[in-house]
Amino acid sequence: MASGGRRGTGSSPPINCPENERGPFPKKLVQIKSNKDKETKVFYSITGQGADTPPVGVFTIERETGWLEVTKPLDREEMDKYILFSHAVSANGQPVEDPMEIIITVTDQNDNRPVFTEAVFHSSVREGAKPGTPVLRVLATDADDAVSSTNGVVVYSILRQTPEQPQPHMFAIDSSTGAISVAAAGLVAQSVPEYTLQIQATDMEGYGLRATATVLIKVEAEGMSEAVKGSLTTHVLNTATGLPAAGLAIRLAQLQEPEPQWTELVERWTDEDGRCLPLLAQGQAKAGTYKLRFETAAYWQGQGHASFYPFVEVVFTIADPAQKLHIPLLISPYSYTTYRGS
């Protein structure tokens, strides 16, 4: 038994069926033919997911001709592959061949636009930061196929910077990773305390559907008390290179009682020294349980490595809010170490 010809039993070549087809339905896909149809009258049936198990009835087969048909538009994001089995029997119901596996692959159309993980991203950068200083990394996801097509491949860009002082291109974005960095010198908190960036994510490698988001970047004045003093600080070292880990996202959350629930307090990004502004300013700490989450996967991806740990979470307790706490993190693609510092 074979599809589209006469071959041995077993399985047929994969059948590609585009998603979102308009019909009319039912639509013929391929004709199943038994090697025994010259000897006896053969009747065909199919079983499997999409035939007689949920979702039932997506595929049918003409009992006498063996034409396999699809009865409705398919959605690759709901199911990207169906595995069916065709059966051939004689008039008395006895099998004339072994069942044949049929794999139907749903091919992608660009029917999903990118979606940013946040509508508004927040970050900060110290005034006087040099070009190349990491600020933050934005992320947009796309449900379409990014492996065998470009439909789900997202490209990032900056559409607008407000204000355009001292020049309109103070920041740059990596089109592939979404990492935003300082592009030009001249960040002065007194002149421009905050920048607003309108960013865009476009699929099909920049030629498809689009989505926008906002980035608010606060410029921290040199020497301001928050930058110098803090009750909770950290720094991150890349042990594979022996250099600071720059551009790594860090989130601080606190466990709220009586119903245990984590509440995010702040997000920071490490600078070229692997450090960031204090996660808790002086006097801001309260007794309780906290969690530092280091987004290591995105950092290692930007370094061209895969990470065994998608993130690192350090849960700790502050017993004495008046005491300064420093929690360093040492990372490699396959290990990490943390400890209480001073």
Q: For the segment 156-206, what is each residue's pLDDT rounded down to a tens digit?
A: 999 999 999 999 999 999 999 999 999 999 999 989 999 999 999 999 999
Tell me the mean pLDDT in the region 109-117: 90
Q: Is residue 315 predicted with pLDDT exceeding 50?
A: yes
Nearest to 173 by CA among 162, 187, 190, 159: 159
Q: What is the pLDDT of residues 262-312, one digit of tens each?
A: 988 888 888 878 888 889 888 888 999 999 999 999 889 878 888 999 999
Cross-strand partners of 235: 275
The β-bridge relationship of strands 194-202 and 140-141 is unpaired
Q: What is the pLDDT of residues 17-74, one digit of tens each?
A: 999 988 899 999 999 999 888 889 999 999 999 999 999 999 999 999 999 999 999 9
How many whole angstroms separate alpha carbon 342 and alpha carbon 333? Answer: 26
Contact status, residue 201 vs residue 207, Cβ threshold 8 Å: no
Give residue 266's pLDDT: 87
Q: What is the pLDDT of residues 87-100, one digit of tens each?
A: 999 999 999 999 99
For residue 6, the tally of other CB atoms under 10 A from its CB is 11
206 φ, ψ (degrees, to nearest 5):
100, 5
Q: What is the pLDDT of residues 228-241, one digit of tens each?
A: 467 899 999 999 99
Give residue 319's pLDDT: 92
Q: Is residue 323 predicted with pLDDT exceeding 70?
A: yes
Q: Is residue 7 predicted with pLDDT exceeding 50?
A: no
Give residue 229's pLDDT: 63
| Six-digit token string for 63 | 């009992």
Give residue 108's pLDDT: 85
How many whole angstroms separate alpha carbon 253 and alpha carbon 1? Answer: 61
Give residue 121's pLDDT: 86
Least confident among 143-157, 170-184, 214-228: 214-228
Give residue 10's pLDDT: 61
Tell me the mean pLDDT in the region 118-134: 87
Q: Is residue 227 predicted with pLDDT exceeding 80?
A: no
Contact status, residue 145 vs residue 108, Cβ threshold 8 Å: yes
Q: Is residue 226 predicted with pLDDT exceeding 60?
A: no
Contact status, residue 227 vs residue 166, Cβ threshold 8 Å: no
Give residue 281's pLDDT: 81
Q: What is the pLDDT of residues 273-287, one digit of tens each?
A: 888 888 988 888 899
- By the 10 Å C-beta count (0-12 exposed, 13-18 middle, 19+ buried), 78 is classed as exposed
Peptide bond before residue 73 is cis, with ω within 30 degrees of 0 = no
